[in-house]
Structure 1
């Protein structure tokens, strides 16, 4: 009798372990988009979700409008590379996500991006929403207090490239060789 109970317990344990292993395997092999789900607003005040990062190649840059050098340089270069690509890059969607939503309202984002490009869409939201999105995209962002009560933002300075499924495709580093950056964008455009 005791032997039957022990065999029964072992059988239940084996089935349980098999089920857990199957679930783990399924999670590891199910295609998942890079990042996290989000519902923010674009520069026109319209709701934008992670669905915008799917259906075509995408370039995403996290920064802020009061940035003295990195952000304007990156946005200027990205717009230039997309222009250089001509029709080859026309399907690449480009987004600028604010890491400083306290100052970067949709109106501020629209005016700021108007100085660089009509192809790059600004995205903002509440500080909590932006912090969650940044964390989900492995973006570092931190408020740095300055003298006189002002502040700046320290943040990741790379452009994230996503394929048409919204999966991570690569990055373009700040001050990357322009030919290398252009080659990465061409590969992205042709791969998806």
Structure 2
């Protein structure tokens, strides 16, 4: 190839190469800004069979296709559970007001870890105090254990006292996607606004 032709070719290729390199760099930059879910790949969530307030049998697959918020607690809890669930549901309510369509795809779920006292009627009444969207579930001790193990939730019955016994348990509100895959833990300890912001971040 003649020197002149080589120079001409270089002049034609250079802008194209520059454009391609800029496009690749932009693509890499955009990819790096996509945040992976905090719980991506975690072994959280799985099969269970429980009952709702009406005695209807409910399984994990009953919520397939829905985003799910799952919290384990008990209705006789004097402080932690009511505060957590209140923050969770107020945050959800704020999210629902701002993103009505997306909120319809979300199911908040409360699962008791105290089946001895938390009958389906008790759970139904307790969850109803936090709004109609919170779905309460209970079951036999074996069923509750299966559900808690699926979510790596710790709980233990405390010693009896004149006022009854307390339950020691972990405090986590899990957010799972429509396929049941864990996405994040909702910051109920930081209040409703933080919960709403986290839902807005992930639920699309």
Q: TM-score, normalised by structure 1?
A: 0.76
Please state how far the C-alpha of 1:33 moved relative to its aligned partner. Answer: 8.1
Please state how far the C-alpha of 1:35 moved relative to its aligned partner. Answer: 2.2
Unmatched segments (≥5 aa) in structure 2 = 1-40
Q: Which residue pairs with 1:125 in the alignment?
A: 139
Contact 2:52–2:58, Cα closer than 8 Å, also in 1: yes
Q: Number of matched residues?
A: 160
Contact 1:54–1:163, Cα closer than 8 Å, also in 2: no
Q: Which residue pairs with 1:161 in the alignment?
A: 175
Please state how far the C-alpha of 1:32 moved relative to its aligned partner. Answer: 10
Distance 2:115 2:75 in 1: 10
Q: Which residue pairs with 1:116 in the alignment?
A: 130
Contact 1:61–1:96, Cα closer than 8 Å, also in 2: yes
Change beyond 3 A, Cα 1:173–1:158: farther
Change beyond 3 A, Cα 1:39–1:51: same
Q: Which residue pairs with 1:21 in the alignment?
A: none
Contact 2:53–2:124, Cα closer than 8 Å, also in 1: yes
Q: Which residue pairs with 1:45 in the alignment?
A: 55
Q: Which residue pairs with 2:158 in the alignment?
A: 144
Greater Rg, structure 1 or structure 2?
Answer: 2
Change beyond 3 A, Cα 1:45–1:168: same
Distance 2:188 2:198 in 1: 14
Instruction: Work out which of the residue numbers 89, 96, 101 in structure 1 matches 2:103.
Output: 89
Q: Which moved more, 1:104-113 or 1:69-78?
A: 69-78
Q: Which residue pairs with 1:65 in the alignment?
A: 75
Please state how far the C-alpha of 1:149 moved relative to its aligned partner. Answer: 7.6
Please state how far the C-alpha of 1:82 moved relative to its aligned partner. Answer: 1.7
Distance 1:33 1:56 in 2: 19
Contact 1:40–1:47, Cα closer than 8 Å, also in 2: yes
RMSD between superposed Cα atoms in Å:
2.0
Moved over 3 A (4+): 31-34
